Amino acid sequence: MTARPTLAQAAIAGAIALFLAAFLVVPVLAVVWIAFADGAGGVTLSHFGAFFGVSLLRESFWNSLYVAAASVLVASVIALPIAYFTSRFRLRGALAVQTLGVLPLVMPPFVGAVAMQLIFGRNGSVNLLLGDWLGVNVPFMEGLNGVIFVEALHYFPFILLNLSVALANIDPAMEESAQNLGAHGFRLFRRVVFPLAMPGYVAGASLVFVKVFDDLGTPLVLNVTNMLAPQAYLRITSMGIEDPLGYVISVIMIAFSILAMWLSARALRGRDYATVQRGGAAAPRRRLSRGQAVLAYGWIALVLLLVLSPHLGILLLSFSKVWSFSVVPEAFTLENYRTVFADSSGMIVNTLVYAGLAAFVDIVIGTTIAYLVLRTPLPGRQFLDLGAAAALAIPGVVLGIGYLRLFRGVEIPWLGGALTASWIILPIAYSVRRLPYAVRSCTAALQQLHASLEEAAENLGASRRRTIQRIVVPLMAGGILAGFVTSFITAAVELSATLLLASSESMAPMSYGIYLYMQSIAGRGPGAALGVVAVVIVAVGTYASNRFMAGRSAQQETKP
């Protein structure tokens, strides 16, 4: 590592800073400014007063808080027993449990929402059966319940994964010493196990809270508009870009995102405390008693069934002629797929192009930021890292509103045409939103790379640039690919920013298409078919990257 930053490093850092400023910082600041501006150049809180003066917005505010908190609660109820059972007991069917951890994530919640309505809605399969057998009707999907149900089922893996890691990392002596001093059963869990796993739980729970709080697609598809994200979207699209209340909602959403992330960062600060002095063996897994086995397997089976229901529902729906007021569709057809490929193949191509472009931009910026932060003495380099990570706190709706406002009337240089009307705005928005993930996985990859490997290359005569080309990038390839795939698959199903920024059907990606189809009863079939195509793309991407990473880690087992 040289003591002084080079001009090239500074120039590259400057370019990235410019990109982040133009497409993240300034648009968000513009949104915040308008929420507080009094129109005469001064600052005012009157818009916030107005916001709380409108009863619909007040209601939306509480509804969003309620839905996010209730989703965290439901997701916790699903995830907690599974994480505990799998980490402390000998369970068969580990594969099924692992599947639980990823299956929900391959299908965006707004895609599954309609299928969930057909299965769990008032006239859905489950309630039809319940009505026949027991004469009862459970309002799973009524109003806010539906949003909570769909979101909890989609996002519980975040809690499950974080909690499982935290539980697995607890030094078994921590639990044994509590048993030795007289604690067991639920008291042991409440007083020692759960507090020690708390950081992992909080990290997962706050992520779920933010995701649900910011989600626009799911409430819209379920026709729930009295929440913050839908209100922000509806105000901007119906009242126009000048209406200040849309900006107030945006600021509130940013504030809650930052609050939740701050909580999670605080919880994670003491994170490795339970794992220090870890001695030897992992916690011995206990055998389940007969009663416990019935409970554990029963719960896992039930959750697996619930988790699979949107997938199954969307698949059934995509092959169905008509599906309403019946437990399963009455007739099957391939017509929906024909419609989709005839009318909407452009959307599929758009998605691949946009998500591919966004992911490419992300890994280029991600690798560069990782390198600048970890390997150069460039002053202020942490701000690049921080800037990229800040995108996590910005809901898609807010970014969309910011772009619409800031780039209103801005022409694309040389090519001409309004930026906000061009397709190019979508990959830009996607790349900014997914950048934190790419930076994280590139940074992790570079951190694992010992600096001596680069020093050896420089010692043998390679210049800094040649060292990066021949040593750093090849050895980081796994992390870079992981970043690319994560960015790609999440961008492929992004809806919040898309809804605001897609200005014509010809430039719309699949996520927008699915949303449009789902607006009408007749469109549900093709919408589901397009949803299946999206899920397949995401699943193939996930599978390919897992395979690649597994192969790579096996291959690099002997590395120093």
Partner 1 sequence: MTEPVRVEVENVSLAFGATQVLRGIDVAIAPGEFFALLGPSGCGKSTLLRLIAGFNHAQSGHVRIGGDDVTRVPPWERNVGMVFQSYALWPHMTVAGNVAFGLEERGRPREEIRRRVADALALVGLQDLADRRPGQLSGGQQQRVALARTVAIEPRVLLLDEPLSNLDAKLRVHMRRELVQLQRKLGITTIFVTHDQEEAMTTCDRIAVMSEGRIVQTGTPVELYDAPASRFVAEFVGSINLLDGNLQTGAGEGATFVSPQVGPVPLPPSESLPGSGDVTLAFRPHGVSVSAARADPARIWLAGAVAEREFLGEFVRYRVRVGGADILVDAPHLTGAPWFDPGAGVEVGIDPREIRVLRP
Binding residues (CB under 8 A) for partner 1: these are 171, 173-174, 176-184, 187, 191-192, 195-196, 198, 270, 273-274, 277-279
Smaller CB separation from partner 1, 193 or 502: 193
The two three-digit tokens of residue 461, written as one number: 């005569």
Q: Strand, helix or coil at 506? A: helix
Q: How far is CA 401 from CA 46, 235, 377, 490, in A?
A: 20, 11, 36, 20
Query: DSSP string spanning 186-246?
Result: HHHIIIIIHHHHHHHHHHHHHHHHHHHHH--HHHHHTT--SSHHHHHHHIIIII-TT-HHH
Quote the least distance from Cβ 286 to partner 1, whole Å.
11
HSE at residue 38, side-chain half, CA atoms within 13 A, is 8
Reported as type and span, the H/E element at residue 522 is: none
Compute the least distance from the CB of residue 178 to partner 1, in Å.
Answer: 7
Q: Alpha-carbon distance 198 to 204, whole Å? A: 10
CB of 277 to partner 1, least distance (A): 4
Pick the closer one to partner 1 by CB: 287 or 465. Answer: 287
Nearest alpha carbon to residue 347 among 540, 529, 221: 529
Which tokens go with 336? 């929906």
CB of 419 to partner 1, least distance (A): 51
Shortest distance, position 208 Cβ to partner 1, whole Å = 23
Which residues pair with residue 320 across a beta bridge? 332
Q: Which amino acid is at 116?
A: M
| Minimum separation from the CB atom of position 264 to partner 1 (A) | 17
What is the Cα–Cα distance from 218 to 110, expressed in whole angstroms? 4
Q: Between 187 and 466, whose beta carbon lies closer to partner 1?
A: 187
- Which tokens in the block code for residue 559? 């590395």
Give SS3 for 5. coil
Q: How far is the CB of 203 from partner 1 (least distance, A)?
A: 16
Q: Which is nearer to partner 1, 78 or 197 (CB)?
A: 197
By C-beta, is 170 or 518 nearer to partner 1?
170
Do 141 and 166 meet the contact criterion of CB atoms below 8 Å apart? no
**Which of residues 240 and 284 has its CB atom nearest to partner 1 in the complex?**
284
Of 179 and 553, the one with the shorter C-beta distance to partner 1 is 179
In the complex with partner 1, the residue whose CB is nearer, 174 or 473, is 174
Q: Is 418 helix (H, G, I), strand (E, B) or coil?
A: strand
Rounded CA gap, 541 and 90, in Å?
32
**N-terminal to C-terminal alpha carbon distance within the chain:** 20
- In the complex, the smallest distance separating the C-beta of residue 361 from partner 1, rounded to whole angstroms, is 42
* Cβ at position 201, least distance to partner 1 in Å: 13
- Least distance (Å) from partner 1 to the CB of residue 273? 4
Residue placing its CB nearer to partner 1 in the complex, 171 or 214: 171
Q: Which tokens in the block code for residue 263?
A: 């909580």
CA distance 108 to 151: 10
Q: Please report where in the chains the tokens 């298409």 appear, as a residue.
A: 513
Alpha-carbon gap, residue 205 to 199, rounded angstroms: 10
